[in-house]
Structure 1
Amino acid sequence: MIKETPNPPGSETDTDPASPYESLDSKKFHEAAERALDHYLNPAALKEAKTPRKPSTMFMVAPDMDSESLLANACESMASASVMLSDFADLLEGPHRNKALGIAQVVMLGELAVNRALDNIDPKG
């Protein structure tokens, strides 16, 4: 004898019975997979479907800033980051310290490059 069991609560889906998707989550998963495939296999279709991104103006550099001022500010920011990373590395030990010192070295190399670019700019007369 087969005992009839009722459907457990919450087993009903909110989708159309003719839909190939089991639930709304599977539909979202399918859409995400399609976007990922388009990104790698058909980037032209992705660009056509997208509207141009409008950058946020919350933290915007003034468009009329001269290159010398921008480079000087970048140099100061990188020097500060280098000092903070060195101080932070002093608090660490082992491989974590080596990673922090490696990041500090990359920042320092960037600072040197910005300094050289700043040296190459003719000062305003």
Structure 2
Amino acid sequence: MIKDSPNPPEHLFAVRPNLDTETLLVNASQDLASISDIAVHLAFEVDGAQRNVALGICRMLEGVQLLVNKALDEAYPAT
């Protein structure tokens, strides 16, 4: 039997407090790259409209990846 929690969490997942911006941006960038790889793989496994949808997702991910990488470069320029 599973008991109900007296204080159930608001969200299933949460970001640890006190993580610095660089860590957040680097992890977001890596996650976006992984999701993009999955979408590219999917795009070559399907045909027709489904392929177009997968490729559209790839393009959107690439745009978000560029934004995250730009924010990372602006916040933490290479020395």
Max Rg structure: 1
TM-score class, shorter-chain normalisation, is 0.7 to 0.9
The question of 1:103 aligning with 2:57 is answered: yes
Find the aligned partners of 1:105 and 1:122 in 2 and give their Cα distance: 25
TM-score when scaled to structure 1?
0.52
Higher relative contact order (CA 8 A, sep 6+): 2
Unpaired stretches in structure 1, ≥5 consecutive residues: 1-53
Identity rate, percent: 39
- Cα-to-partner distance string for 1:66-109 (whole Å, 9 max, x where unaligned): 01100000000000000110000101111110111001110111
Alignment-derived partner of residue 67 in structure 1: 21
Q: 1:121 aligns with which of 71, 75, 79?
A: 75
User: Displacement of 1:55 after TM fit?
Assistant: 2.4
Q: Secondary structure at the match of 1:60?
A: coil
Alignment-derived partner of residue 33 in structure 2: 79
What amino acid is the match of 1:82? Answer: S
- Cα-to-partner distance string for 1:104-123 (whole Å, 9 max, x where unaligned): 11011101100000001136
Find the aligned partners of 2:13 and 2:46 in 1 and give their Cα distance: 32
TM-score when scaled to structure 2?
0.80
How many residues are aligned here? 69
Find the aligned partners of 1:122 and 1:88 in 2 and give their Cα distance: 33
Q: CA RMSD in A?
A: 1.4
Show structure 1 runs of 4+ deviating over 4 A: none
Unpaired stretches in structure 2, ≥5 consecutive residues: 1-8
Find the aligned partners of 2:24 and 2:10 in 1 and give their Cα distance: 19
Alignment-derived partner of residue 55 in structure 1: 10
